[in-house]
A and B are shown apart, each in its own frame.
Chain A
Amino acid sequence: MSLYKAELRRLGKRRVTRLTTLLGLLVLLGIAVGTFFSNQKIGPEEIAAAAREAEQAYQGTVDSILEERRRCEEARRTGVDAEQYPQDCSAIAPPTRESFPTEWYLPSTFEFRAEFESVLAGWALILALVAFVIGASFVGAEWSSGGMSNLLVWRPQRIQVLLTKLGALLTGLLGLTVLTGVAWFAAFWLIATLRGSTAGMTSGAWQSFILTGLRGVVLALVAGVVGFALASLGRNTALALGAAVAASIIGYVGVGVVLTIAEVQFVEAWQFTTYLDAWLQKKITLVDWNYCAQAVGECEPPEKDIVWQHSGVLLGAVVLITLGAALWFMRRRDVA
């Protein structure tokens, strides 16, 4: 317990922990502030103004199209520039009024039920990045500074030391994600109330958001564990960050290019970003558009669903492999 307490204190005192957390919070704050100022509440006045704007746009379009038709008829009659216009000038027809719906001319407004899901995914990804850096640095800097060696002289139980550090890290990250998550819900509820709408929030919608939020918390913890494990394996923070960048490039760009050249169906199913999306959005439907490229007549492109359970298995496997390797090497390798 004393080691756990010490590690929790160490985590809080570390400069990287503080700076990375601060940076993450500033980005989240920026998103919230930006959303607040780029949206506004819709009332009768805004609707009337939008209707007027829609009508003006409609009239403007009708006028310009009628003018174009007149030029077409003129060209047909005189023969000048006739090739620029269709044979039948009545084909140049003005749009209907319905093509200019009033909603298109309404100012941006934040509808909690429709938009919070994607905002929540943004929060989860930012927190995951913060957690990865903090996790990697927490153990990586200990290795490179000699702190781990010092600690093991005090507590010569390698696995216990590493797992206690991980436990302290996860406690800190859990606290950070839960606190920021609650603040995120509150902030966007407030934004929706003041600059949008909270209409349509049923218990089912709340449940869905809360589950997405929980998956976001899990994603941040997984990122923290993976960063921690990679830095422990490489005994260096930079190695974990480098591995993450390399995995991102190879796992997204590299795989994408190679599999596209190989004409593999559903290339996205092999890219890890798809699984991140599926984890946060519950389900991603991939469509093979190439399938209909050569088709004659009606063609239904095949689809493939990636659901959050698939992502869960993948995230679990990544955690098991990286953490397992880190523990194995911690047990076996000398502390030079």
Chain B
Amino acid sequence: MAHRSAGVGRTVTGGNRASRLGANLAPVLEIQGLEKTYRSRRRGVRRALDGFDMVVEEGQIHGFLGPNGSGKTTTLRTLLGLIKADGGRMMIFGEEVPAALPRVIRRIGAIVESPQFFPHFSAYDTLSLLADAGGVPQRRVMEVLELVGLAQRARDRVKSYSLGMKQRLAVASALLKEPKLLILDEPANGLDPGGIREMRNLLRDLADSGMTVVLSSHILAEVQLICDSVTIISKGRRVTAGPVAEVVARHSGTGLRVRLEAAADLPLAADVLTQAGAKVTVHSDHLMVDSVEKPAWVTRTLAARNLYVSELTPVTADLESVFLELTETMPVPGQHRQVDQSVVVGDATAGRWGE
């Protein structure tokens, strides 16, 4: 985005992130046992949220992840009072919503799903009307348009905007109130690579300034890069939550890719390692070995049985593989996964904070 405030555009150091993570902060947002069931004559009964829990602490950038149809948008809409929950409890800034929403909404900026604006209004008019409706000073309109890089196109009709520009406008509308909690549903949708990086920097700066950000996105590499913590939802239930590094470590761990000089020896090698206490997965041309403290142990154990390693590579799991594993949405060659085909977790309390 064209304009950068003091910190925008620089790379946020690990120190900033660490300070956000290290502080023992109060939850800004808490959801407990949220339930929502849709009933339709045509489509029958569908449980969109099935006892969903989520906690977001102050000053963090919190990733909210889940496959399509998992309940992310329903959660955010319920949180913002657009959808009525069938059960559960939601708190924002320590106040129960939706009852307290009129009181706390002034401190919340949000975009939910794809941005939709009146096509014949200009960006300036759109934000100016929202500012009037929310009692926000009109000077904020140009400030936020400047911040998201739309200042020079402010008077153009929204219908002439690209998807990325509409996305920027949506973010601008969410920032208009100078919120303490920013809820963004797919903010990078439609942005070009430069725009994604600018969005990342903007969000980091906002978090550094004390704003709490809840970010729903499918760009998992981006989430891993930017978020302090994550909640993953599947079929309306939380499948895991916690600081990003912990989630990745907890659910995938790190493994070793082992290749042998003779691929025919792979089954034998797998037996040897398994008997020695490792967790082994056999692939066509290599083994994946987990639960090993030192890579050298693999080399020694196999060499003792005259099996010689040609490659020993530590494989670090990323958020994407954790996500695919937890939601069981890993693509399978030759199969076409349907939208609702993701995992249902039996224990809704799995992966609570601090576990």
Residues of chain A at the chain B interface (Cβ within 8 Å): 2-3, 5-7, 9-10, 13-15, 141, 145-147, 149-157, 334-336
Contact = CB atoms under 8 A, between A and B. Distances in A.
Interface stretch (B12-20, B119-127, B267-275): B119-127
Contacts of A145: 116-119
B55 to A, nearest CB: 22
B132 interface: yes
A15 B157 CA distance: 12
B80 A153 contact: yes
A10 B118 CA distance: 10
B77 A15 contact: no
A5 B134 CA distance: 11
Given A9-B129, A149-B116, A156-B98, 16 more contacts: A2-B132, A13-B125, A14-B120, A145-B119, A147-B117, A151-B130, A152-B80, A152-B81, A152-B82, A153-B80, A154-B130, A155-B133, A334-B83, A335-B77, A335-B83, A336-B82
A334 B132 contact: no
Interface in B152-181: 173, 177
A153 B116 contact: no
A136 B98 CA distance: 29
B184 to A, nearest CB: 12
A155 B117 contact: no
A48 B116 CA distance: 70
Contact of B105 (A155, A335, A336): A155
B145 interface: no
Contacts of B47: none
B81 A156 contact: yes
Contacts of B177: 154
Contacts of B117: 145-147, 150
The 8 closest A-B pairs by CB, nearest first: A146-B116, A6-B132, A335-B82, A6-B133, A156-B81, A156-B101, A334-B83, A2-B135
B102 A149 contact: no
B77 A155 contact: no
B110 A336 contact: no
8 contacts: A3-B133, A145-B118, A146-B116, A147-B116, A153-B82, A153-B112, A156-B81, A334-B83
A131 B98 CA distance: 35
A149 B112 contact: yes
Q: Which of B98, B125, B135 has the most CB of A within 10 A?
A: B135
Given A145-B116, A145-B118, A145-B119, A156 B129 contact: no
Contacts of B132: 2-3, 5-6, 9
A150 B105 contact: no
A83 B173 CA distance: 92
A153 B78 CA distance: 11
Contact of B133 (A14, A141, A154): A154
Interface in B66-112: 77, 80-84, 98, 101-102, 105, 110, 112
B interface SS class: loop
B22 to A, nearest CB: 32
A237 to B, nearest CB: 13
Nearest to A1: B135
A13 B77 CA distance: 28
Nearest to B176: A154
A306 to B, nearest CB: 42
Nearest to A149: B82
A132 B117 CA distance: 23
A147 B133 CA distance: 12
Interface hub of A3, A9, A154 (most chain B Cβ within 10 A): A154
B129 A10 contact: yes
B182 to A, nearest CB: 12
Contacts of A335: 77, 82-83
Contacts of A147: 116-118
Contacts of B110: 153
Contacts of B98: 156
A14 B117 CA distance: 13
A141 B102 contact: no
B120 A151 contact: no
Contact of B102 (A7, A146, A150, A157): A157
Contacts of A9: 129, 132
Contacts of A155: 102, 105, 133-134
A141 B121 CA distance: 13
Chain A CB count within 10 A is highest, among B77, B102, B118, B119, for: B118
Contact of A334 (B84, B130, B134): B84
A30 B174 CA distance: 47
Nearest to B108: A153
A52 B224 CA distance: 99
A212 B189 CA distance: 56
A150 B130 contact: yes
A153 B81 CA distance: 8
A335 B76 CA distance: 12
A141 B354 CA distance: 47
A156 B80 contact: yes
A3 B131 CA distance: 9
A141 B81 CA distance: 21
A95 to B, nearest CB: 65
A59 B134 CA distance: 81
Contacts of A157: 102
A155 B84 CA distance: 16
A152 B101 CA distance: 11
Interface in B273-305: none
A14 B77 CA distance: 27
A5 B132 CA distance: 7
Nearest to A335: B82
A148 B23 CA distance: 38
A147 B117 CA distance: 6
A259 B162 CA distance: 56
B134 A150 contact: no
Given A156-B81, A334-B84, A335-B83, A150 B125 contact: no
A156 B102 contact: yes
A336 B36 CA distance: 13
Given A6-B129, A9-B129, A151-B133, A334 B119 contact: no
